[in-house]
Amino acid sequence: MPSSTSYPPSSSERALEVHHLTGPASAPIIFEIEIFVARGETLLVLGPIQSGKSMLMRHLVGLECAASGTIAVDGEAFDPTKPEDKALRRLRSRVGVLFEGSALLRRISVLENVELPLLEHEHSSRAQARDAARELLAEVGIQVDDDTMPVQLGRAGQRRVALARALALKPRLMLLDEPTLGLDSPAAHEFDETLHAVQKKYDFGIVIFSHEIRHAYTPANQIDVLAGGRIVARGTRESLLKSDDPVIHGLLHRRERE
């Protein structure tokens, strides 16, 4: 992990830059969001359930139409208020996404899941895609037969496959929605290690959206606290631990029994 740098990072190395993002246009749930992630660094967006984390992530990949704001991925701007096909396609080829619950396609095999983006975007042949998929899976520590289906892997395995799938197009930015939700602690810990190993190798920015406080104890360079659709605090773990704000305190500290 690179050591913590100044905030916000200089514009040349920004993997993600979001200004004044409010949305969705129909009925806003997130307001005036400002976030930055440098390449090779990790941002944790910490917030209680229903605070708008998933909605924020959906905006970043153009699944929702924003009311206002700007988004730039790897230096290239993208207008979230009117997502058009060409820009979306370019944006999405630079962003890897791991949805809550993995969201693997259940009807096709694990290998086919990882092959799919390669075949669509890289115009590689079937054999090349299969080799590349095996390699990616090996990188996240998964070995499968040709016909292993996602359900056969269990939750932790599926999460790794989803990570391999998100890695397939060599993204500049990786978005993870509740990546370790429902995993037991050793599995969650191993997942974190794998994630950081691949981040080191490919040098992408990471944004983790979670309500789990355990992520604050993994090497996140920056923590943004999201509550009620707004970023209410930001800082490092140490600075946030000292905060007196009741929301932040409630998120970071175990409440003592009275």
Partner 1 sequence: MMSLPVRSSDVGSRTPRSSTFLTGEWSVGTGVTRLGGRFLSRGRVALGALHWLSWIIVSPRSVVSGGVARELDTLGVGALRLVGSASILVGLIATFQVAYQLKQYGAESVSALAIGWFATREVGPLVVALLVVTRSASAIAGEFAAMTSGGEIDALRVMGLDPVKYLVAPKLAALFVALPALTVIADGFITFGGWVGTTLFLGFNSRFYLEQIRTSLSTSDIATGVAKSLIFGFVIAIIASDEGLSVDRRVTAIGEAASRAVVYCLLGVLAADTLVNAILYFIPALVL
Q: Taken in order 28, 30, 34, 37, is the CA torsion positive or negative?
A: negative
- Rule CB under 8 A: choose which of 1, 77, 105, 138 binds partner 1: 105
The CA-based diameter of the chain, rounded to the nearest angstrom, is 64
- Rule CB under 8 A: choose which of 6, 10, 27, 145 binds partner 1: 27
> Is 93 near partner 1 (CB under 8 A)?
yes
Q: Name which of residues 35 to 74 contact partner 1 (CB under 8 A).
A: 50, 52, 55, 58, 61, 63-65
> Is 146 near partner 1 (CB under 8 A)?
no
Residues facing 210 on adjacent strands: 46
Pair of tokens at residue 166:
């998100």
User: Is 144:84 a contact under the CB 8 Å cutoff?
Assistant: no
- Closest distance to partner 1 from the beta carbon of 254 (Å): 27
- Closest distance to partner 1 from the beta carbon of 186 (Å): 26
Length of the chain: 258
Q: Which stretch binds partner 1 (CB under 8 A): 12-20, 87-95, 182-190, 205-213?
A: 87-95
User: Under DSSP, is residue 156 helix (H, G, I), strand (E, B) or coil?
Assistant: helix
> Is 134 near partner 1 (CB under 8 A)?
no
Tell how strand 222-227 and strand 230-235 pair up.
antiparallel
Cα–Cα dist 64/71, whole Å: 13
Give me the residues that bind partner 1 (CB under 8 A), please.
24-27, 29, 50, 52, 55, 58, 61, 63-65, 88-89, 92-93, 95, 97, 99-101, 103-107, 115-117, 119-121, 165, 169
